[in-house]
């Protein structure tokens, strides 16, 4: 589940790309976004802090994004963290197969991408987390007396409901 109130972490060895991705995540509602230029630095930070999202480039050295993904999925504490892998090379997307990655990324996105592309990819990620209406954040928040209506939440849930209607789900559950 994506937690925009938790910090996100961007991992890209290209400083410009990392800065652009950080700006996009802030525009999309993440409260804080950390930037790291190596998978090793990001991995160290992940052991000190909890993150709601990891957005990492695949093509980095010496540790690439797929190796970082493997480490995250192998960690007992971090394995549920949503990971979006970004790449400029479509051939890299095929490297993340079940034989290569224990549990794959939450999503893959091709560079260059816009904030709108990233928002769509994150919405698709949310669809996977909320296949039933009663699992939407507003429903859970109302159950725990943590309900604060907002335009962002209404827009986000409206998008989720629209996408859920398009999915071939068993609606009787």
What does the pLDDT read at residue 173? Answer: 41
Q: Where are the beta strands (DSSP E) in the chain?
A: 8-11, 33-36, 53-57, 83-87, 107-110
Q: Tell me the C-alpha distance between 38 and 46, whole Å.
A: 12
Q: Across residues 29-39, what is the average pLDDT?
A: 93
Nearest partner of 56 among 12, 17, 20, 92, judged by Cα: 12
Residue 148 has pLDDT above 60, yes or no: no
**Could you give the domains of the chain?**
8-114 (3.40.50.2300), 133-166 (no CATH)
DSSP element (H, E) containing 109: strand 107-110
- Alpha-carbon dihedral 21, 13, 127, 33, rounded to 10 degrees: -50
3-state secondary structure of 125: helix
Q: Tell me the C-alpha distance between 54 and 107, whole Å.
A: 11
Instruction: Report residue 31's pLDDT band, with 50, 70 and 90 as the boundaries.
Output: confident
Angle at 104 between CA 94 and CA 48, to 5 degrees: 130
Share of the chain above pLDDT 90, in %: 28
For 89-141, the pLDDT digits (tens) are 877 666 665 555 556 677 888 899 998 889 888 877 665 554 555 555 555 55
Instruction: Report residue 20's pLDDT band, with 50, 70 and 90 as the boundaries.
Output: very high
Distance of CA 17 to the CA centre of its chain: 17
Nearest partner of 81 among 50, 124, 44, judged by Cα: 50
What does the pLDDT read at residue 171? Answer: 45
What does the pLDDT read at residue 24? Answer: 93
């Amino acid at each position: 589940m994506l937690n925009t109130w938790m910090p996100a972490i961007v991992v890209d060895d290209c400083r410009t790309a990392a800065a652009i991705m950080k700006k996009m995540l802030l525009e999309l509602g993440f409260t804080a976004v950390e930037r790291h230029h190596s998978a090793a630095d990001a991995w160290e930070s992940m052991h000190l802090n909890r993150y709601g999202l990891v957005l990492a480039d695949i093509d980095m050295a010496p540790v690439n994004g797929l190796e970082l993904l493997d480490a995250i999925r192998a960690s007992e504490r971090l394995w549920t963290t949503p990971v979006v892998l970004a790449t400029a090379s479509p051939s890299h997307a095929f490297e993340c197969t079940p034989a290569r990655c224990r549990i794959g990324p939450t999503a893959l996105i091709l560079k260059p991408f816009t904030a709108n592309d990233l928002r769509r990819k994150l919405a698709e990620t949310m669809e996977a987390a909320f296949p039933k209406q009663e699992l939407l954040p507003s429903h859970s928040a109302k159950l725990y007396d943590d309900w604060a209506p907002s335009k962002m939440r209404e827009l986000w849930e409206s998008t989720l409901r629209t996408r859920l209607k398009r999915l071939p789900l068993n609606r009787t559950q």
